[in-house]
Amino acid sequence: MKPIKIGIAGLGNVGEEVAYQLIKGFRVQKNLFQIELVAVSAKSKNKKRKIDLNHFKFFENPIDMVSDNKIDVIVELIGGDEGVAKDLCFSALKNNKAVITANKALIAKYGKELAEIAEERNLFFSFEASVAGGIPILKLIREGLIVNEITKLTGILNGTANYILSEMEKEQKSFDIVLKEAQKKGFAEADPSFDVDGIDAAHKTIILSALAYGKMPNVNNLTIKGIRDITLNDISYCNQLGYKIKLLGNSLLHKNKNGKDELSCSVEPWLISKNLGLSNVAGVLNAVQIESSLAGPVMITGAGAGGEPTASAVLADIVDYANETKLFSFGRNSNDILNNYNTIPYTNKFRYYLRLNVVDKSGVLADVTSIFKDNGLSIESFIQKSNQEDKTAELVIITHEAEGFVLNDSLSKISILDGVITKPVCLSIYS
């Protein structure tokens, strides 16, 4: 058996754990394959780590790894959609090395191009760890559900955002306070915008969409809304009404009147009925729910991030490589992946949650309901909470099902009403 020689670029949480497991050895590695860590590259060689780097060739510049003919597989754990990580992955493949990466930003942007190079050269190229950490979701779609047509994919894909929303509810604290605490605990980055503004979830949604539908929207062509506008009051109202708020990466494939595929795709907070399994996915957990033609609905939940879960995914890719698994990175010929695929707004009817901050005086509610009436939008539930001190009130409305444009039209009229103080908050209700 020819030993397989691994080079790891990037020794953060994940890289260190992958290296540690390769050194320690795991069941299949010992019994079935010979997998050997031979080289590493990291920003700092001397940082304290649970592995001793002296046993491996150290590269100051990870790009130099690609010309080392003792390395079979480059494991890219640097991150970022440009710069070193991009250069490393492209040049590794062009130098006929297998590539395994956890880099969602890179795959969302250059995944098709990289897969094309890998396929031309018959190289292994995989990125299980790029979506939902410890959940083997790419393998599930790519192999387990391979004969299914997938029509819908919904995921809780960002552990930080999910943790913040869960903590807000559990601890009854505001977004800002929970975010600060999460940063202290290491559950949120110093610059949290990738996580709380939905960018990270968008990258993962794009990768899932490529695997599920062969269609890869551009990140600039998605509706991406984060969770910064969600107040503790929103969470309480929703709770009262039987819902949880979750940041979802959601995509939906449908045929239009002419039988042509149309893809709707977004990252935004939704209300989820407490009766649905997704509503119970709390804290840093991730979940993905799939609607498939034969297997039906499948949902999988697990750890979305962290050194060990993500290392589990990277190592599973390494074992697939060692097992000589023939892999289409996106579950199909990468030439068939439609890049920069255009997405359209959801054409389904949804129910909506609206929160309006208004002056607490007579007439405002009448104005609002009259706009609703004119637009044919009807109300299912209504909560009013007055604030005596500053003579304002919050109006919380759950609408009956309506099309998006009806809702948006009503909202734009409501926004400019005299008594409406701040921009209304509007969330769709998942169904």
**Residue 28, interface with a copy of itself (CB under 8 A)?**
yes
Q: How far is the CB of 280 from a copy of itself (least distance, A)?
A: 5
Q: Measuring CA to CA, which residue among 371, 377, 373 is closest to residue 416?
A: 371
Compute the distance between CA of residue 158 and CA of residue 188 in angstroms, rounded to an integer: 11
Q: How far is the CB of 5 from a copy of itself (least distance, A)?
A: 18
Amino acid at 428: S
Q: How far is the CB of 28 from a copy of itself (least distance, A)?
A: 6
Catalytic annotation present for 204: yes
Helix (H, G, I), strand (E, B) or coil at 253: strand
Instruction: Kindly tell me which of 17 and 268 has the beta carbon lying closer to a copy of itself.
Output: 17
**Residue 15, interface with a copy of itself (CB under 8 A)?**
no
Choosing from 302, 351, 385, 406, the residue that interacts with a copy of itself (CB under 8 A) is 302
Choosing from 107, 135, 364, 411, the residue that interacts with a copy of itself (CB under 8 A) is 135
**Residue 130, interface with a copy of itself (CB under 8 A)?**
no
**Residue 153, interface with a copy of itself (CB under 8 A)?**
no
Q: Number of C-alpha atoms within 13 angstroms, CB side, residue 48? A: 0
Compute the distance between CA of residue 306 and CA of residue 395 in angstroms, rounded to an integer: 40
Residue 43 has a CB neighbour count (10 Å cut-off) of 11
Positions in 272-291 near a copy of itself (CB under 8 A): 275, 277, 280-281
Choosing from 241, 298, 371, 379, the residue that interacts with a copy of itself (CB under 8 A) is 298
Q: How far is the CB of 27 from a copy of itself (least distance, A)?
A: 7
- Measured at the CA of 228, the angle between CA 224 and CA 231, to 5 degrees, comes to 130
Q: How far is the CB of 138 from a copy of itself (least distance, A)?
A: 9
Q: How far is the CB of 263 from a copy of itself (least distance, A)?
A: 16
**Residue 29, interface with a copy of itself (CB under 8 A)?**
yes
**Long-range CB contacts (< 8 A, 24+ apart) of 163-166?**
163/187, 163/188, 163/283, 163/284, 164/188, 164/196, 164/227, 165/227, 165/230, 165/235, 165/244, 165/245, 165/246, 165/247, 165/269, 166/282, 166/283
Instruction: Kindly tell me which of 280 and 386 has the beta carbon lying closer to a copy of itself.
Output: 280
Choosing from 7, 269, 309, 419, the residue that interacts with a copy of itself (CB under 8 A) is 309
**Residue 209, interface with a copy of itself (CB under 8 A)?**
no
Residues 311, 313, 316, 317, Cα dihedral to 10° = -100
**Residue 36, interface with a copy of itself (CB under 8 A)?**
no
**Residue 12, interface with a copy of itself (CB under 8 A)?**
no
Sequence-distant (≥ 6) Cβ neighbours of residue 3 within 8 angstroms: 34, 35, 36
Compute the distance between CA of residue 141 and CA of residue 212 in angstroms, rounded to an integer: 7
Choosing from 1, 2, 31, 52, the residue that interacts with a copy of itself (CB under 8 A) is 31
Catalytic-labelled residue, pool 104, 112, 139, 204: 204
Instruction: Kindly tell me which of 113 and 308 has the beta carbon lying closer to a copy of itself.
Output: 308
Instruction: Write out the two tokens for 162.
Output: 């999910």
Chain CA centroid to CA 338, Å: 20
Helix (H, G, I), strand (E, B) or coil at 325: coil
Q: How far is the CB of 118 from a copy of itself (least distance, A)?
A: 15
Using CB under 8 A as the binding criterion, the count of chain residues that bind a copy of itself stands at: 57
Choosing from 251, 264, 292, 329, the residue that interacts with a copy of itself (CB under 8 A) is 292
Query: Cβ(263)–Cβ(209) under 8 Å?
Result: yes
Choosing from 7, 10, 62, 134, the residue that interacts with a copy of itself (CB under 8 A) is 134
Strand partners, 395: 356, 384
**Residue 146, interface with a copy of itself (CB under 8 A)?**
yes
Residues 64, 67, 73, 74, Cα dihedral to 10° = 20
Q: How far is the CB of 396 from a copy of itself (least distance, A)?
A: 26
Q: How far is the CB of 110 from a copy of itself (least distance, A)?
A: 23
Parallel, antiparallel or unpaired: strands 392-399 and 379-387: antiparallel
**Residue 366, interface with a copy of itself (CB under 8 A)?**
no
**Residue 300, interface with a copy of itself (CB under 8 A)?**
yes
Choosing from 311, 393, 398, 427, the residue that interacts with a copy of itself (CB under 8 A) is 311
Please say whether the dihedral angle defined by the alpha carbons of residues 399, 400, 405 and 409, taken in this order, is positive or negative: negative
**Residue 54, interface with a copy of itself (CB under 8 A)?**
no
Amino acid at 88: L
Rule CB under 8 A: which residues touch a copy of itself?
Answer: 17, 21, 26-29, 31-32, 128, 133-136, 139-140, 143-149, 275, 277, 280-281, 292-303, 306, 308-309, 311-313, 315-316, 319-320, 323-326, 328, 331-333, 336
Which residues are catalytic, by number?
Answer: 204
